[in-house]
Structure 1
Amino acid sequence: MEKKEWRLIHLHCIIGTNRNFIRKVMNEDPEFEQMYKWDVQQWKEKFQIYDKKAFFIVEKLQNKSIKQKIVHYVETYQVLTIYSKDYPVSLREIPDPPLVLYLHGNPRLLSHTPNLSVVGTRYPSKFARSIMANILIPLFKYDFLITSGMAVGIDGFAHQLAIQHQSPTIAVLGSGFEHIYPKQHLTLFTQLAKQDLIISEYPPDQAPRKYHFPERNRIISGLSFGTLVIEAKEKSGTLITVDQALEQGKEVFAVPGSVLAETSSGCNQLIKDGAKLVQTSNDILEEYHLKQRTLE
């Protein structure tokens, strides 16, 4: 790992995922060398920040314990930065790529294709599991990798289904690896770390925050060629992933449902708005093969 990458990780651990601010530092100091020499006043003047934030940054950049913690992270997990040669091309191309990624598990899955993201409500209907099995199991025969967010409900079902059928899967977390959320998925986390892959743009000691979950959705959609929505209410966090997918130019698929079911209202609206209606795996396979022919 280059020195520049270590320095970026250092700043990232201090600032968190305020990518706009980190990019401003990147523009001012491309090698992240000079930032260690700037005093409080220089930080204030260069980036228009308050005393408190400037003092905090200067103090943390000199803090040896943070540097030691980063060494531990790099030795325990694989850490990629936007400068890494192994950084996934699919994420490099999205409008707001993560600057640092922490990986736990099999990093080769980052380049696996085809990759389909599967998202949906945390409170699925009694039909959700059978619907997912009907659509996803045939895709596993074509070596589809499933990416989701390890949340309760649809996300968890998607990962579990992939594991049961020995098909690859990636979980993108809204917290660091030392703060598994939700806690009831600790066993799932352990399974994924052994044979599949878990990703987070949050340092391992970072606890979950409410804004992390909509933020991580751009990574879920960014890794895949398309996003499949199984069940979602009309106003739900799931639809944030759809917005991200559309912004990234990715395909959006939706499973229709009863007009009487609240968990289908979001999917039905997506279909009205132009998402591809999915009844069987063939609906996804057709779109994937069409996209591949277009790229050839």
Structure 2
Amino acid sequence: MKELKYSFAQITAREYKNLKQPNEHLYKKIMFSKNLNTDRILETLQNAGVSFITINDPEYPLLLKETYDPPYIIYYKGDISLLKKTSFAIVGSRKATTYTKAALNYIIPHLKDYVIISGLAYGADEIAHKISIANNIPTIGVLGFGHNTHYPKTTEQTRSIIEQNYLTISEFPPDSEIERWKFVSRNRIIAGISEGTLVTEAEIKSGSLITLEIAMDENRHAFCLPGNMTSSLSIGTNLRIQEGCIPVVFPEDITTILNESKIN
């Protein structure tokens, strides 16, 4: 309990120190942390079968710890040892077409040395999780809410399979409800925990592109699927390729770069 309370105090103190300019997102995080009731959280954790680690625990992923804004607490359900393995993030549009599914069926079987990270959203995220499961490749779902909540309903069964066999994580206590700003926070964890991030399809303004931008800010590898120039779901990815992201034409376009990073 002391470790949990100390971590909440760290969150608040650190974020106040960073608040040099007005920032609505950061302010919401601070207020959220200040108002947490640790005794109630610990009771909820026990009832929900959810555990937690802090940034000081050996299980905490090193890549995430190196990021600009690492979560001080990670709540989890499943196999925590997966956080120590090398991860690769796959995200994309909630409106993902059959192109995303076909591409990931081609790519993911070549990523057996990695844990596939995604956000359990409808569309590309769920496709990435399902194909990983079908190929016996470990996968981690990063939640944008507490473990006692789920959204969307359509991915609930996939989440259940992941929690039984792999891992779900969240920086929010179990009873935390859905709020838009929490999904932005979730995106930074997806990008920060991974060696690289692939966006399959994205409109010109897309949450998955925010994840990609965070990955680039954290000096991670940024990949995009090139797409049909007449498709609105390929404009975002095609523009990012034009700006310097790595186009993925073959699975080796990902694995070669990730393997080179291991050597270096």
Deviations 1:63-85 (A, max 9, x none): 7xx51441441572221112223
Q: Does 1:260 align with 2:258?
A: no
Aligned residue pairs total 250
Aligned counterparts of 1:230 and 1:187: Cα–Cα separation in 2 = 23
- Identify which of 173, 177, 181 aligns with 2:143: 173
CA gap of 1:74–1:84, structure 2 versus 1, over 3 A, is: farther
Larger mean CA deviation between 123-132 and 267-276 belongs to 123-132
CA gap of 1:176–1:119, structure 2 versus 1, over 3 A, is: same
Match for 1:221: what amino acid? A
Task: Tell me the secondary structure at the aligned position of residue 261 of structure 2.
Answer: helix
Deviations 1:133-172 (A, max 9, x none): 11112223xx221100000000000000011111100010
- Superposed, 1:78-227 pairs within 5 Å as 78-113=51-86, 115-140=87-112, 143-227=113-197
Match for 2:251: what amino acid? S
Task: Tell me the secondary structure at the aligned position of residue 253 of structure 1.
Answer: strand
- Aligned CA-pair RMSD: 2.3
Aligned counterparts of 1:23 and 1:148: Cα–Cα separation in 2 = 27
Q: CA deviation at 1:218?
A: 0.8
CA gap of 1:11–1:262, structure 2 versus 1, over 3 A, is: same
Match for 1:263: what amino acid? L
Structure 1 partner of 2:198: 228
Deviations 1:16-45 (A, max 9, x none): xxx4x3426899xxxxxxxxxxxxxxxxxx
- Structure number with larger C-alpha Rg: 1
Match for 2:108: what amino acid? L
Structure 1 partner of 2:23: none
Aligned counterparts of 1:155 and 1:24: Cα–Cα separation in 2 = 30
Structure 1 partner of 2:22: none
Aligned counterparts of 2:210 and 2:159: Cα–Cα separation in 1 = 24
Aligned counterparts of 2:9 and 2:175: Cα–Cα separation in 1 = 15
Structure 1 partner of 2:14: 23
CA gap of 1:77–1:279, structure 2 versus 1, over 3 A, is: same
Alignment gaps of 5+ in structure 2: 19-26
CA gap of 1:260–1:68, structure 2 versus 1, over 3 A, is: closer
Match for 1:132: what amino acid? L
Match for 2:228: what amino acid? S
Deviations 1:91-136 (A, max 9, x none): 11001000111011100000112x1100100001222211111111
Task: Tell me the secondary structure at the aligned position of residue 53 of structure 2.
Answer: strand
Give the TM-score normalised by the residue count of structure 1: 0.79
Alignment gaps of 5+ in structure 1: 13-18, 28-48
Aligned counterparts of 1:281 and 1:207: Cα–Cα separation in 2 = 37
Structure 1 partner of 2:219: 249
Match for 1:201: what amino acid? E
Structure 2 partner of 1:6: 4
Aligned counterparts of 1:26 and 1:195: Cα–Cα separation in 2 = 39
Deviations 1:245-271 (A, max 9, x none): 011100001110111011111110111
Aligned counterparts of 1:175 and 1:107: Cα–Cα separation in 2 = 18
CA gap of 1:25–1:82, structure 2 versus 1, over 3 A, is: farther
Task: Tell me the secondary structure at the aligned position of residue 127 of structure 1.
Answer: helix
Q: Which runs of 4+ in 1 moved over 4 A?
A: 9-12, 24-27
CA gap of 1:180–1:11, structure 2 versus 1, over 3 A, is: farther
Counterpart contact for 2:93–2:233, Cα < 8 Å: yes
